[in-house]
Amino acid sequence: MQKIKIKCPAKINLTLEVVNKRSDGFHNIKSVMQLISLYDFLYIECYEDLEPKILLEGNSCDIPYDSKNLVYKAAELFLKTTETKNRTVKIYIEKNIPIAAGLAGGSTNAAGTLYGLNELCGKPLTKKELHNLCAELGSDLNVCLEGGTLLATSRGEKIEKLKTIEMPVTLIKPKNLGISAKEAYTKYAAKEFKPQNNMTEKLCNALKNKTDIREFLYNDLEYAVFYDYPELQYIKSKLPDSIMSGSGSTYFVLGMVESPDFSEEYQVISGLKFINNGICAV
């Protein structure tokens, strides 16, 4: 039996701009994504079995542990691609990243599964081939696999490494509110006015010139859903400089801030920072 423990970081979107809708139903985006020091952990076992299967377990009651889970799909895709037969894969998912929160929790777990199985099976796939599988499964997996600060384009799977800076991060999430990517993109598409702020390019220039990036933080999907949820408006009223990550419902604020005073209905995670690495074994 072979075992491995994989460290899967969360991401935030420093910018997220929707370019247009694609023929496949997804949207082309421009986004600067940043990996942060908040992690899920995967405990992966792989062993020979006459009746091979994929078994999932975990510490969260809010995710499925069957073929609906992206981790299951990742394991299935890896076994098929590498033509690995007569192997049972068992994965325990330790969730610390909030769910349906715009932090790529599901994506980083799936990318971590591909990475972990590749390590266990003697690295049959190159880094490029792992990235190809990530792109096949979803939009944020490539970012999580690569790590650091990245410009993501197309539907998020095309990435370019940028300079990573040091920056403290605080997350704030309404405990009882999750927003799906489908809802956020649908509401954005319905907006008659669509801002064209070009904040992604401006933030990339700020990184290149080593100037303050905070004035260029921006998210089109926040604009799409903000007025539908009093919880989001409340976060913004308490922390005006905060920005929503991904499709939400998590907000983040950069730099050193006083510990924000939120009720028990909100989860506050402070003491985080930007990191320059992605998924890895520990």
Enzyme catalytic residues? 11, 140
Question: How many Å apart are CA 250 and CA 173, to the nearest integer?
Answer: 4
Residue with tokens 């010139």, as numbered in its chain: 209
Question: Got the DSSP string for 199-220?
Answer: HHHHHHHHHHHT---GGG-EEH
Q: Dmax of the chain from CA atoms?
A: 59
Cα-to-chain-centroid distance, residue 279: 12
- Could you give the dihedral angle defined by the CA atoms of residues 139, 278, 204 and 195, in that order, rounded to the nearest 10 degrees? 30
* Encoded amino acid at 7, one letter: K
Helix (H) or strand (E) holding 280, with range, is strand 280-281
* Nearest one of 133, 138, 114 to 281, comparing CA atoms: 114
Cα gap 120→276, rounded to integer Å: 24
Helices 127-137, 105-120: crossing angle, 10 deg rounding:
140
